[in-house]
Structure 1
Amino acid sequence: MLKIFRLTAILEGISYLLLFGIGMPLKYLAKIPEPNIYIGYAHGFLFMAYVVLAALFCLEQKWGLKRFVILFIASLLPFGTFYIDKKYLKPLAVSAN
């Protein structure tokens, strides 16, 4: 579960940066909306997967609501999921080995 959640967190963070760093400027500044459609769908799917996996992972780890809220808020902030991976997930992966 940890590997899947870490991968999803990283991919969600990348899709967030692509959407707002590339997709939105192309749409609003260059008037090219097509890339935003595909990036938006990918980001939406990854965001939903991240939230569901965060909830399941918190249950599995017996983390409380406070930790879930932190994970959720991180998904709304640029670079937030990268922070979550470094602060909470990577130490778990290292200790599991």
Structure 2
Amino acid sequence: MFNSPIGRFRIIGFLEGLSLLVLLFVAMPLKYLAGLPEAVTVIGTLHGVLFILYLAVIAYVTFKIRWSLLWVISAIAVAFIPFGNLLFDVRLRKVSFN
């Protein structure tokens, strides 16, 4: 899977999407319901790093395989939607970029 630009993108996209879900559904409840703001600090930092890496991989894929502007905008937009990266991954598996 790491052998192609799309494979690299899918892995980073999965990790970034997972970090958003952990932030929203684990860290935020721990902060507000259990009084543990450290959870948001740690997971939020990890999510921020993964998001920046995700943007860098989008740029890499765009230049490597000549993604259209629609694919780039879609890839960025789904990063802000819980479970969005997983749905985008399903679409990526159906399309051939050769």
User: 2:88, 2:64 → 1: CA distance?
Assistant: 17
Q: Which one of the candidate residues 43, 46, 55 is aligned to 2:47?
A: 43
Which stretches in structure 1 are left out of the alignment for 5+ residues?
none
Q: Which one of the candidate residues 54, 67, 71 is aligned to 2:71?
A: 67
What TM-score do the two structures reach when normalised by structure 1?
Answer: 0.86
Once the two structures are TM-superposed, the CA of residue 3 in structure 1 deviates from its matched residue by: 2.4
Which residue type is aligned with residue 32 of structure 2?
A: Y
The residue number in structure 1 matching 2:13 is: 9
The residue number in structure 2 matching 1:54 is: 58
Number of aligned positions between the proteins? 94
User: 2:61, 2:17 → 1: CA distance?
Assistant: 18
The residue number in structure 1 matching 2:37 is: 33
RMSD: 1.8
What TM-score do the two structures reach when normalised by structure 2?
Answer: 0.85
**What secondary structure sits across from 1:32 in the alignment?**
coil
Once the two structures are TM-superposed, the CA of residue 53 in structure 1 deviates from its matched residue by: 0.6
